[in-house]
Structure 1
Amino acid sequence: MYKRSIALFGATLVSIIYGVTFTIAKDVMPKYIDAYGFILLRVSGSMLLFWISWLFMPKEKIETKDFPRIIAAAFFGVAFNMLTFFKGLSLTSPISASVIMVTTPMIVLVLSAIIIKERMRKRMVSGIILGLIGTAFLILYGKSIGSATNAALGNSLVLVNALSYGFYLIIVKKLMDKYNAFTFVKWIYLIGFLMVLPFGWSQFEMVDWTIVPTVIYWKIGFVVIFSTFITYLLNLLTMRELSPTTVAVFIYLQPVFATVFAIGLGKDDLSIVKVVSAILIFAGVYLVTQKTSPNPSEGGK
């Protein structure tokens, strides 16, 4: 019970960190550093932290046959995932981006049905349709405010990021079952770093660090250390003690924390489009993730 309480606290803390990240990252880009340059900073910093941590962890050898899966995880979980998310966030508002990210559990379910032939009930299909309508509504009618320069494109890129992360969760599952996480995550981030390097280097070189305020350095450090490294460690803790379904529920808290933080700092506003979109998406997620008793006539699961 004590371990479960700690795990629940850890899962809540992850949601708070992610919720805050939407606004903190938005403060850094594109004003001081463009999205791809910021990603290069985030991935390289996290890579160093994971390799240093690995020195103090049990050593395992990765089988050669598992490296293609690690490369795929690096692409979908680090490179493509982060490039589309940060580019999208740089163009849209924190609240819109956080609402769209809630579609991740639905995306995972659809991909599971396609890739591993997991059975889908009518309720799940209805939920996915509701969620898609909410997401489309937000992308098409969400207004650009403040530093949201192109909300439609930004929201679309955040949705692509959620799709990419859905692929990553399915790909990485077998690695999680086989190895200690630190055995393969250092490789995922090293390969991911090499993938984002060509995209981020020119933007990183263009940064005039002499005019970057101290507070922005702290915000960059927050994204590297807390939003990436610490959240990964906390996710490991929660996954040991809580079921995947329970862990997935905590992603729904992210828009709440993102909204409170963004509005509190005057970085975003709460429009009717965002509220209606959120209701549709949350209703869809509820239908998709709701547990039901097995129907004997359907042969169980």
Structure 2
Amino acid sequence: MSKQIQVHAALFLVALIYGSNYSIAKEVMPAYVGPFGLIVIRVVSAAVFFGVFSRMVTKERIVGRADNLRVILCGVTGVAVNQLCFFAGLNLTAPINAALLMVIVPVVVLVFSAILLKERVGKRKVSGILLACTGALLLIYNSRGESATGNIWGDLLIILNASSFGMYLVLVKPLMQKYKAITIVSRIFTVGAVLVLPFGFQQLFTPDYSTFPVSIWVAILFMVFAVTIIAYLLNTWALRYANPSLVGAYIYLQPVMAILIAVGVGKDVFTIEKGLYALLIFAGVYLVSRTKQKIPARAEAEV
């Protein structure tokens, strides 16, 4: 399997995981665990896992003041602000609103890539993002139900989350040229865990966990291992081989995955219109992926 296929497979799996997270997270909060308490469970668990795994496998150190400062910024944007704003926003607004607003991520990535990484923004890349954005907006708009209500503060928090995550994708890219993915992820989650703990400490100990049904425990485990550990690791690994714009463009696949999952469990119906909108999204991602990308010298090093 070629490296390009592996990258697309990894990003597709991330989109599938994130697409399912919108509905799963709403089942857990706020009825069982508050949004910030859920974040502490996710981030601290991931920090411990990545920390132990990194020491066992790589034992790699991040050197230099500039790289360590960038790691801290990645922890702030990619974990702390990203997670706090997403779950606080999702707790207030409807999942469909959150999915809609997350499509601004590639736009943020494109802007910061041009400013910070001096990445060339060609017509093909812009066209691909616009095409994918159009498909995503049409898909989400036509999937809204009468019960899907939003909240202005929740929507604003999702926008801040999307902007923070877009900045993270750009900030972490240079680190991926020098270090292994597991090293980077373990450090940024350590930073993130320290920052989110004060926000969710009280909510963490409020619930009576003994009363949780099995389905809620499964949902929490999914959010810890799939949404947090696997998705972050795959996303970070993919950045070693792809530019941030491609990784950001896969955000547009999340609503597709969300609707396919809903169809699978009988909560939505697949139509020709939805299929056409999905094709627009895939076509847009394809255009973005067709831009020339430089594979770094250390790119062949595995996680």
Report the Cα distance in structure 1 between the residues aligned to 2:7 and 2:126, rounded to whole angstroms: 31
Q: How does 1:7-26 map to 2 (within 5 A)?
A: 7-26=7-26
Contact 1:95/1:268 (<8 A) preserved: no
- TM-score (normalised: structure 2): 0.76
1:230 Cα offset (Å): 1.4
What is the identity, as a one-letter code, of the residue corresponding to 1:227? V
Alpha-carbon distance change, 197 to 289 in structure 1, aligned in 2, over 3 angstroms: same
Paired with 1:290 and 1:190, the residues of 2 have a C-alpha distance of: 32
Aligned AA for 1:23?
Answer: S
Aligned to 2:210: 210
Q: CA offset at residue 259 of structure 1?
A: 2.2
SS in 2 for 1:102: helix
Cα drift, residue 93 of structure 1: 2.3
Which residues of 2 match residues 163-242 of structure 1 at below 5 A?
163-235=163-235, 238-239=238-239
What residue number does 2:261 align with? Answer: 261
Amino acid at match of 1:99: L
How far 1:86 sits from its partner (Å)? 0.8
**Residue identity in the other structure for 1:213:** P
* Structure 1 residue 33, shift from structure 2 partner: 0.9
Worse overlay, 53-62 or 216-225:
53-62
Tell me how large the CA RMSD over aligned residues is: 3.8
Q: Deviations over 1:236-255 (max 9, x none)?
A: 55455x53365444332211
Q: Structure 1 133/261 Cα, relative in aligned 2: closer, same or farther at 3 Å? A: closer
1:106-164 deviation line (CA, Å, top 9, x unaligned): 11111233444555568888998999999999xxxx98965x67433222211211100
Q: What letter is aligned with 2:85? A: T
Residue 110 (structure 2) aligns with:
109
Mind listing any 5+ residue stretches in structure 2 that lack a counterpart?
Answer: 293-303
Query: CA separation of 1:288/1:91 partners in 2, compared to 1, >3 Å: closer, same or farther?
Result: farther
Residue matched to 1:83: 84
8 Å Cα contact 1:105/1:248 also seen in 2: yes
Distance in 2 (alpha carbons) for counterparts of 1:263 and 1:81: 29
CA distance in structure 1 between the aligned counterparts of 2:44 and 2:257, rounded to whole angstroms: 27
Partner of 2:157: 157
User: Quick one: which amino acid aligns to residue 100 of structure 1?
Assistant: L
Within 5 A, what are the aligned runs for 1:31-46?
Answer: 31-46=31-46
- Give the number of aligned pairs: 283
Q: Distance in 1 between matches of 2:30 and 2:216?
A: 12
Contact 1:131 1:282 survives alignment (8 Å):
yes
**CA shift in 2, pair 1:117/1:3, >3 Å:** closer
**What is the identity, as a one-letter code, of the residue corresponding to 1:88?**
G
Determine if contact 1:144/1:150 at 8 Å carries over to the other structure.
Answer: no
Shift of residue 174, structure 1, vs aligned partner: 1.5
Does structure 1 residue 59 correspond to structure 2 residue 20? no
Q: Aligned in 2, Cα 1:39/1:264: closer, same or farther, shift over 3 Å? A: same
Whichever residue aligns with residue 253 of structure 2, its letter is: L
Structure 1 residue 57: Cα displacement = 1.7
Structure 1 range deviating more: 110-119 or 36-45:
110-119
Change (3 A) 1:104 1:197: same
- Assess if the C-alpha contact under 8 Å between 2:20 and 2:258 holds in 1: yes
Aligned-pair CA distance for 1:80: 0.3
- 8 Å CA contact 1:23, 1:267 repeated in 2: no
Q: CA deviation at 1:192?
A: 0.6
Q: Is the 8 A contact 1:81 1:165 kept in 2?
A: yes
Distance 2:27 2:196 in 1: 21
Of 53-62 and 157-166, more deviation after overlay is shown by 53-62
Moved more, 153-162 or 126-135: 126-135
Q: CA deviation at 1:209?
A: 1.2
Question: CA 1:209–1:267 in 2, change beyond 3 Å: closer, same or farther?
Answer: farther
Percent identity at matched positions?
Answer: 41
